[in-house]
Amino acid sequence: MERPSLESFTARHHLDSRSLCAQIVEAREGTIAVRSAQAATDNLTRIIEATLRLANRKGFAAMTLRELARESGLSLGGLYAYIGSKDELARLIQAWVSRTLRRVMASALEGIEDSRSRLATAIEAHLLTTEALREWFFFLYMEAHHLASDERRQAVAAERNSEQIFADIIRQGQAEGHYGAMNADIAAGLVKAMLQDWYLKRHKHGERGLNVATYADTVIAATEALLAARA
Amino acid sequence: MERPSLESFTARHHLDSRSLCAQIVEAREGTIAVRSAQAATDNLTRIIEATLRLANRKGFAAMTLRELARESGLSLGGLYAYIGSKDELARLIQAWVSRTLRRVMASALEGIEDSRSRLATAIEAHLLTTEALREWFFFLYMEAHHLASDERRQAVAAERNSEQIFADIIRQGQAEGHYGAMNADIAAGLVKAMLQDWYLKRHKHGERGLNVATYADTVIAATEALLAARA
DNA sequence: GGATAGAAAACGAACGTCCGTTATACATTG
DNA sequence: CAATGTATAACGGACGTTCGTTTTCTATCC
C-alpha cells in the first residue's frame, strides 16, 4: 500500500489555512466588504489563524476582539469587514473544518474496495487531515459544545458521519470474513477516540517524538487486533 | 473477578458531589465565611453543581455569576461567602476532581498483584469514577487548557500520572510474558483515549443504550487484544 | 508621468450593556 | 440584642459593536 507523506497529502487535498480561507471568501462573496479576493483571503487568513491561536490558548469566549485585532494586525473596526459578529467567526471555522474532513475522507477512499485497505486508508486520511489542520480541529472539538442548537446539531451530525464511515468499513470487513462479530458502531467509536487523541493531546505526542505516520501504523495495528479478537 | 456495581463503587469511594464538597469545606476551613459545616456543605454543593451544569452547557467563561446565583438559589453577593473569585471556583473543582481520581485508582488497585487483574481493575475503576462524577470530569477536561500556568502544570501532571499507572501495568504484564513488545507508553495513551471517550461523548453512548459495565468489558477486551497482538 | 479625484479599505474613539466584585442593608436566630 | 448569614444595590471596568473620519489604492486626465 502506498503511504502518502504529510506534505503530499496536504498539497493534494489543499489542507492549509490559506486554501480554506480562500474557499470561505469565495463562498461568502457579498458578505465580505472587501472586493479583492486576494486581499480578502490574506486578511481573513490572518484573522482566522489569530483566532485559532488565541482561542486554543485561552478559549474563544475569553478571547476579546481587541486581542484579536492586535494579534491579526487589523484594527478593531476593520475586523467587521470580514465577519458579521464574533459568534459568526466561530461558526465559520467550525462549518468549514467539518466540511473539509468529510470532503477529504470521501476523496481518499474513492476507488478503494478491499475492506482492510479502506480501513487503513480511512485511519490514515483522518490522521493526516487533522494533523495538517490541527488548530482548526482542536477548535472544533473544544468549542462545538457551546454552539447554538442549530449549529450544534450540524456539528454532531458531522461527527456521526465520520464515525459512520468507520462503522461501514468494519461491517464490510465482517461480511467479508476478516473481522469477528463485535458491534461495529462501538468499535468505530473506539477507533474515533484513538484518532481524536492525536490532535487533542498534541503536546504529549510531540514530547514522545511520535510522528503522525508512526501513530497511524500503531492505530491501524491496534484496530485490526481488536477487530480480529472476537473472530 | 468480582465486578462492583456502579452504586457500590460510588458508595465505597464516596463519589458523589456532596461528599466531595464536604471534603472541600473541611479542607478550606477559614476561607469559607459560613461557620456551620453542614450548611456550608449544602450551599457549596448547590453552587458547584450549578456551575457544572452551566459550564458544561455554555462554557465556564460564558457563564456569568448572575446566572450561577439564579441556578444555585443563592444571591449574587452570597456566592462570595463560599468562593474567593470566579477563577478560584474553577480551580477548586479541577483540583478536587483530579485528586479524587488519583485517590480512587490507588485504593482500587491496592492488594492486586496479577497484571491482568490490575489492568481490568484499573480500567473499570477509571470508568466507574468518571461515570459517578461525569460532570466534574467533563469540566476538568474542557476547562483545564485555560488555566493559569501553575494550575495547568498540575493538571497535566495528574493526567500523566493516571496514564503512567496504565503504562506500569502494561510493562509488568510484558515482564510476566502476557503481552507483546509494544511501546507501553503509547499503548497506555490509547487506553486513556478510550476511557476518556466515555465521559466526553456521554450523549452518544446513552443513545446506544450502552452502560458503563458493558463499556468496561469492551475496553478491557480491546486492550488485551491490542496488547497481545505484537507478542 | 506626475497630479488629482473618487472609491475602497482601515482606523479607533465612543456607546450602551453587562461583567465580576464590593459595600451596604436586612433578616434570622440563639 | 449581638452575631451570623443572606439579599440588594452600586461600582468601575471591559466587552462587542457602531460609525464618522482618515488613509490607501486606482484610474483618469493634462
B32-87 pLDDT per residue, tens: 878 788 889 999 999 999 999 999 999 999 999 999 999 999 999 999 999 999 99
Q: Domain B6-229's class?
A: mainly alpha
In percent, how much of chain A has pLDDT > 70?
99
Q: Is residue B231's pLDDT more than 80? A: no
Confidence of residue B1 (pLDDT cuts 50, 70, 90): low
Q: Read off the C-alpha cell for A145.
A: 459544545
User: Does B186 contact A218 at a Cβ distance shorter than 8 Å?
Assistant: yes
Q: Chain C bases under 7 Å from protein CB?
A: 8-14, 18-24
Retrieve residue A75's grid coordinates: 484594527
> How high is the pLDDT of residue B184?
96
Averaged pLDDT for residues B6-13: 97
Considering only CB atoms, B226 lies closest to which of A59, A201, A225, namely: A225
Output the average pLDDT for chain A: 94
Q: Residue B42: which nucleotide is closest by CA–C1'?
A: D5
The predicted structure's pLDDT at residue B39? 87
pLDDT in tens, A55-73: 999 999 999 999 999 999 9
Question: Is B189 close to A204, i.e. CB distance below 8 A?
Answer: yes
Q: Would you state the cell numbers that stand for residue A138, as one nine-digit string? A: 482542536
pLDDT at A83: 95
Q: What gap in Å lies between CA A6 and CA A176, rounded to an integer?
A: 31
**pLDDT range class, residue B31, cuts 50, 70, 90:** confident
Q: What is the mean pLDDT of chain B?
A: 93
Tell me the average pLDDT across A130-158.
Answer: 93
| Interface contacts A/B by beta carbons within 8 Å | 82
pLDDT(A207) > 80? yes
Place of cell 458502531: A185
pLDDT category at B230 given cuts 50, 70, 90 is low
Q: Which residues of B touch A (CB under 8 A)?
A: 56-59, 61-62, 142, 145-146, 160, 185-186, 189-190, 192-194, 196-197, 201, 204-205, 208, 210, 218-219, 221-222, 224-226, 228-230
Q: What pLDDT score does A2 carry?
A: 72
Taking only the tens place, the pLDDT of each residue in B82-121 is: 999 999 999 999 999 999 999 999 999 999 999 999 999 9
The confidence band for A231, taking pLDDT boundaries of 50, 70 and 90, is: very low
Q: Looking at the partner chain, which of B62, B186, B228 has a beta carbon nearest the beta carbon of A210?
A: B186
A226 in Cβ contact with A180 (< 8 Å)? no
Cell numbers placing B10:
460510588
The answer to whether the C-beta of B151 is closer than 7 A to strand C is no
**SS3 assignment for chain B:** CCCCCHHHHHHHHCCCHHHHHHHHHHHCECCECCCCHHHHHHHHHHHHHHHHHHHHHHCCCCCCHHHHHHHHCCCCHHHHHCCCCHHHHHHHHHHHHHHHHHHHHHHHHCCCCCHHHHHHHHHHHHHHHHHHCHHHHHHHHHHHHHCCHHHHHHHHHHHHHHHHHHHHHHHHHHHCCCCCCCCHHHHHHHHHHHHHHHHHCHHHHHHCCCCHHHHHHHHHHHHHHHHHHCC
Domain ranges of chain B: 6-229
At residue B185, the pLDDT reads: 96
What letter does residue A110 receive in the DSSP assignment?
T
The pLDDT > 90 percentage for chain A reads 86
- Residues A160-206: tens digit of each pLDDT: 999 999 999 999 999 999 999 999 999 999 999 999 999 999 999 99
Task: Sort out which chain B residues have CB atoms less than 8 A from A147's CB and list them.
Answer: none
Give the model's pLDDT for residue A1: 60
pLDDT reported for residue B56 = 95
Residue B29: how many CB atoms within 10 A of its CB?
10
Residue B34: the pLDDT is 80
